[in-house]
Structure 1
Amino acid sequence: MELIDNINQKYKIVSIIGMAKNAGKTVTLNKIIEDAYYEDINLGITSTGRDGEREDVVTSTEKPAIYVYEESIIATTTGSIEQGDATVEILEVTNYRSSMGNIVLARVVYGGYIEIAGAQTANEMKVLSQKMLNYGAELVLIDGSINRIAVADPTVTEATILATGAVLSRNMDKVIKETLHQKTILSLDEVGIDIKKIIEKNIDKISVIDKEKRVKSVDLKTSLNSGKIIADNIDEDSRYVYIPGCFVTKTLKDLTESTKYYKNIKIIVRDGTKIFISPIDWFKFKKKGIEINVLNRVNIAAITLNPYSPSGYYFDRDNFKDKMDKYIKDVPVYDVMM
């Protein structure tokens, strides 16, 4: 089954996120665009950053360009449109702005290359995605820029494609290990519906919930560097701790070192995009009995592989895919460089 067939008709809005720069995220986007054209699927396309430029503005390395076909709907900036050679019809100028101008919605009249620079917030992205569907897109693709894994937020997109590749490490086993770890975090189980409803009433507050389902809000703006304070609010009756923002290794380390009751609780985060814990630390915390659930599980529709690194080394593509298939059995894996 082709990648496009795995997502078309199942979902309306799909994000593409990369494990690192040059992991093959834009190559994945181009593969879907090309296959959608041949299957007569009208796409909506946007980005959380800047994509489609011929040279990376950070590393000065060559980047894959983005070619769009007639009738595609794009959400990009006024400044980005001027950089491409596709002919577009402006459908709407929005009030959303970036450093490259207002974000506009446009229909491609004559195919060509484009640059895409889209919304900066999750709410803006949700609105733009719906607008593209309203203008006739059958499937919306959101290209998540570097360090914008938050575009996989399940309140924004229905499914996510995770792009990984040799750029992560010269060691293939390490790449597979890190990919499996990211997939595990994004796919964490959701908390029970009863606790979810309780948390949603105070969704922006760090909270401790006890065995009687009573809620104690912790007066903190962030959990960062606050593990000890959160631990001070946990007692023998506590059963859940909800962290609304980013959840990092230090917070969890301080929490577990500051209370003996940590084994009695489940830690709840909004979704896996908010968790920043390395594979090694994750393993250590799991051995200590730490349980982490999410309010909303990220739906990973596929994993794509790029066996080539811009540093000049590469993996044997068949071996790379076979090994990834061996360790990741519940998500389809595609080599988009074939």
Structure 2
Amino acid sequence: MPFIREILNYRSLSIVGLEKNTGKTECLNYILERLPLEKMRVGVSSIGIDGERKDQVTQTAKPEIFLREGIIFSTTEKHFRQRKLVAELLEIGDVHTSLGRIVTAKVVAPGKVMLSGPPSTQELIKWIKNLNYQYNVQLSIIDGALSRLSPASPAVSEAMILATGAALSLTFSDLIAKTNHVVKLVNIESTKHDIPIELTSSQNGIWLYDTSRKKHAVLYDSAFTMNEREVDRKIDGDLVFVSGAITDRLMNKLSSDKYLTNCEIVVKDFTKIFLTPLLYNNFIKKGGKISVMNRSKLLAICVNPVSPTGYKLDSDAICNELYKLTGVPAYDIFKYI
């Protein structure tokens, strides 16, 4: 997987999987083993629990996370006590989790550790800033939890790697289709319009915005109240800004509104899009446009062709087809470790 050099162009990286056992940990170990630690300081943590010896669902063996000397890591108190490496304690955070507070330490002698870090995206953002400010960390790596794409939000990390594989589907065509759909969402273009901070900073509401006259008004207070009242049309607009998530229900409502037919729909980033492939593809084919405030940078797709039950797919065929459809390099992780 020759993308290590490209990783060095970014200050933060997330590794996220479309399902458990798609090879996130193998991918993380591959990266950590090859980063030039003599030239840079690296920090690593997880939004879930990673590095356990055995999968808690399938009871199959899993690779542990190996950290080299000099790497800074954050994990909970419980897993810090269980570490199999020598570390210098740097700080104990104020955030409490079910496994204790978050401990940040520096590896003195290499070994293995379980990572269970900040429990939310907001805490991850703080973690990255703290590592950079307090310990001069040039690259922060986040290992995502089960099927959670939130760490890949550009609000959290600058770049991402997507892990997929036979654990997602044992059918070649289905695996390709599901992965391709997510890549399409990741690669959605950024809007060319400057959207008012009143809209971008809002936590609720669907807004109508007139990009030429710079006027805006609330279409709906939230997606839950769409059917309870008529829209108060104070202005005409050519852009709809969705402050939260866009779902099939919301998309059906917006696309069926004759006054919004030609409107560009904008969300904060791809992690806010929860559209089924059928609905999304039909909307795009009909000339609809969805944009994001902040676009993610997908560096590579890692493929684990082996399912938890031992069934194996043709990894070369998967990688070639994904690259053909997405233009994103795809690699069988087991060929490089």
- TM surpasses 0.5: yes
Q: Partner residue of 2:286? A: 288
Q: 1:227 to 1:302 in 2, by over 3 A?
A: farther
Take 2:106 and 2:267, find their aligned partners in 1: how far apart are those partners? Answer: 38
Q: Partner residue of 2:195? A: 195
Amino acid at match of 1:276: F
Q: 1:39 to 1:170 in 2, by over 3 A?
A: farther
Q: Partner residue of 1:262? A: 260
Cα deviation for residue 44 of structure 1 reads 0.9
Cα deviation for residue 48 of structure 1 reads 0.5
Q: Partner residue of 2:274? A: 276
Q: Partner residue of 2:30? A: 31
Take 1:196 and 1:59, find their aligned partners in 2: how far apart are those partners? Answer: 48
Name the SS of the counterpart of 1:123 in structure 2: helix
Gaps of 5+ in 2: none
Take 2:6 and 2:139, find their aligned partners in 1: how far apart are those partners? Answer: 12
Q: Which moved more, 1:81-90 or 1:155-164?
A: 81-90
Cα deviation for residue 250 of structure 1 reads 1.5
CA RMSD across the alignment: 2.3
Take 2:230 and 2:301, find their aligned partners in 1: how far apart are those partners? Answer: 37
User: For each residue in 1:24-72, what CA deviation from the matched residue of structure 2 results, as whole angstroms up to 9, or x when unmatched?
Assistant: 1111111111122687654211001111111223443322211111111
User: For each residue in 1:146-168, what CA deviation from the matched residue of structure 2 results, as whole angstroms up to 9, or x when unmatched?
Assistant: 13211111111111111111222
Name the SS of the counterpart of 1:261 in structure 2: helix
Name the SS of the counterpart of 2:321 in structure 1: helix
Q: 1:127 to 1:81 in 2, by over 3 A?
A: same
Cα deviation for residue 184 of structure 1 reads 1.1
Is 1:299 the counterpart of 2:300 in the alignment?
no
Is 1:50 the counterpart of 2:65 in the alignment?
no
Q: 1:30 to 1:226 in 2, by over 3 A?
A: farther
Cα deviation for residue 243 of structure 1 reads 1.1
Name the SS of the counterpart of 1:327 in structure 2: helix
Take 1:305 and 1:178, find their aligned partners in 2: how far apart are those partners? Answer: 13
Gaps of 5+ in 1: none
Q: Which moved more, 1:246-255 or 1:47-56?
A: 246-255
Q: 1:107 to 1:38 in 2, by over 3 A?
A: closer
Name the SS of the counterpart of 1:311 in structure 2: coil
Is 1:149 the counterpart of 2:149 in the alignment?
yes
The TM-score, its normalising length taken from structure 1, stands at: 0.90
Q: Partner residue of 1:180? A: 180
Take 2:120 and 2:228, find their aligned partners in 1: how far apart are those partners? Answer: 30
Cα deviation for residue 277 of structure 1 reads 1.0
Q: Which moved more, 1:98-107 or 1:281-290?
A: 281-290
Cα deviation for residue 204 of structure 1 reads 4.7
| 1:15/1:161 contact within 8 Å kept | yes
Take 2:232 and 2:225, find their aligned partners in 1: how far apart are those partners? Answer: 11
| 1:238/1:264 contact within 8 Å kept | no
Q: Partner residue of 1:251? A: 250
Name the SS of the counterpart of 1:23 in structure 2: coil
Is 1:112 the counterpart of 2:114 in the alignment?
no
**Pairwise mapping of residues 58-73 of structure 1 onto structure 2 (< 5 A)?**
58-73=57-72
Q: Partner residue of 2:329? A: 332
Is 1:124 the counterpart of 2:111 in the alignment?
no
Q: Which moved more, 1:39-48 or 1:75-84?
A: 39-48
Take 1:229 and 1:284, find their aligned partners in 2: how far apart are those partners? Answer: 27
Q: 1:271 to 1:38 in 2, by over 3 A?
A: closer
| 2:208/2:240 contact within 8 Å kept | yes
Name the SS of the counterpart of 1:194 in structure 2: coil
Q: Partner residue of 2:316? A: 318
Amino acid at match of 2:173: D
Cα deviation for residue 254 of structure 1 reads 2.8
Cα deviation for residue 268 of structure 1 reads 1.0
| 2:220/2:226 contact within 8 Å kept | no
Take 2:324 and 2:146, find their aligned partners in 1: how far apart are those partners? Answer: 28
Name the SS of the counterpart of 1:195 in structure 2: coil
Name the SS of the counterpart of 2:154 in structure 1: coil
Q: 1:41 to 1:308 in 2, by over 3 A?
A: farther
Name the SS of the counterpart of 1:28 in structure 2: helix
| 2:22/2:168 contact within 8 Å kept | yes
Take 2:142 and 2:282, find their aligned partners in 1: how far apart are those partners? Answer: 34
Q: Partner residue of 1:212? A: 213
Amino acid at match of 1:158: E
